[in-house]
């Protein structure tokens, strides 16, 4: 997935690169949040 994203960024230019970075950061935040919630539920 990350390899395909990097190819798209290279084809479309710096603007798409910025968008990819923003989307990637948001996805990482969501995944971390979901993991934290899952851990809390497991502990409880």
pLDDT, tens digit, for every residue of 14-44?
A: 666 787 888 888 888 888 877 777 777 665 5
| pLDDT of 11 | 56
d(CA 13, CA 29): 25
Q: 5 or 22: whose pLDDT is higher?
A: 22
What's the total number of domains in the chain? Answer: 1
| pLDDT of 28 | 83
Q: What is the pTM of this model?
A: 0.41
d(CA 20, CA 1): 12
Domain hosting 21: range is 2-43
List b or e across 3-35, with b for residues whose CB sees 16 or more CB atoms inside 10 angstroms. Answer: eeeeeebeeeeeeeeeebeeeeeeeeeeeeeee
């Amino acid at each position: 997935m990350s390899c395909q994203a990097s190819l798209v960024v290279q084809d479309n230019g710096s603007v798409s690169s910025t968008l990819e970075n923003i989307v990637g950061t948001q996805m990482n935040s969501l995944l971390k949040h979901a993991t934290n919630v899952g851990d809390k539920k497991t502990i409880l």
